[in-house]
């Protein structure tokens, strides 16, 4: 099976479709197959191929055609994308040596704060 993503005018994923390999021997054939079934433009679809530099397409992810990858939005506006690790990181490191889940991100203060629901 191959996975295809339908894009809106801003290149955000709005729909996902899976197509049998036989119906999509090439990306173009897969796009045309989906377009025929859904009566949408083939240009609005792109094959989602997971690589070291791209996550699998999911609703809300953005397609970067020049780079050839999908990337989701950060959990919080202040978080920064780490291209080496291929994920978003808080602009402030998690408190060193502290248990996972003890602190939670607080966007208004742009810092980690003690999670009131945490119990040891």
Q: Which domain holds residue 95?
A: 87-114
The verdict on residue 57 lying in a domain is: yes
The verdict on residue 82 lying in a domain is: no
> Are residue 6 and residue 59 in the same domain, yes or no?
yes
pLDDT, tens only, 2-40: 999 999 999 999 999 999 999 999 999 999 999 999 888
* Number of structural domains found in the chain: 2
> Are residue 67 and residue 14 in the same domain, yes or no?
yes
Cα distances (angstroms) measured from residue 61 to each of 10, 11, 26, 96: 11, 9, 23, 31
> Are residue 55 and residue 16 in the same domain, yes or no?
yes
> Are residue 53 and residue 92 in the same domain, yes or no?
no
This model's pTM is above 0.85 = no
> Are residue 42 and residue 92 in the same domain, yes or no?
no
Higher pLDDT, 76 or 68: 76
> Are residue 14 and residue 62 in the same domain, yes or no?
yes
Mean pLDDT over each residue of the chain, to the nearest integer: 89
> Are residue 8 and residue 63 in the same domain, yes or no?
yes
> Are residue 50 and residue 100 in the same domain, yes or no?
no
Residue 116: how many other CB atoms lie within 10 Å: 7
The verdict on residue 102 lying in a domain is: yes
The verdict on residue 26 lying in a domain is: yes
Are 13 and 59 a contacting pair, CB within 8 Å? yes
82 closest CA partner among 104, 53, 62, 106: 53
């Amino acid at each position: 099976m191959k996975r295809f993503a339908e894009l809106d005018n801003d290149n955000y994923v709005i729909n996902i479709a899976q197509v049998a390999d036989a119906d999509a021997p090439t990306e173009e054939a897969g796009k045309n197959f989906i377009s025929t079934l859904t009566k949408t433009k083939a240009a609005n679809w792109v094959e989602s191929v997971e690589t070291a530099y791209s996550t699998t397409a999911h609703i809300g992810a953005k397609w970067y055609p020049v780079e050839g990858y999908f990337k989701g939005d950060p959990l919080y506006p202040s978080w920064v994308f780490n291209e080496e690790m291929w994920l978003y990181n808080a602009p402030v490191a998690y408190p060193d040596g502290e248990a996972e889940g003890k602190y939670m991100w607080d966007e208004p203060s742009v810092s980690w704060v003690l999670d009131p629901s945490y119990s040891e």
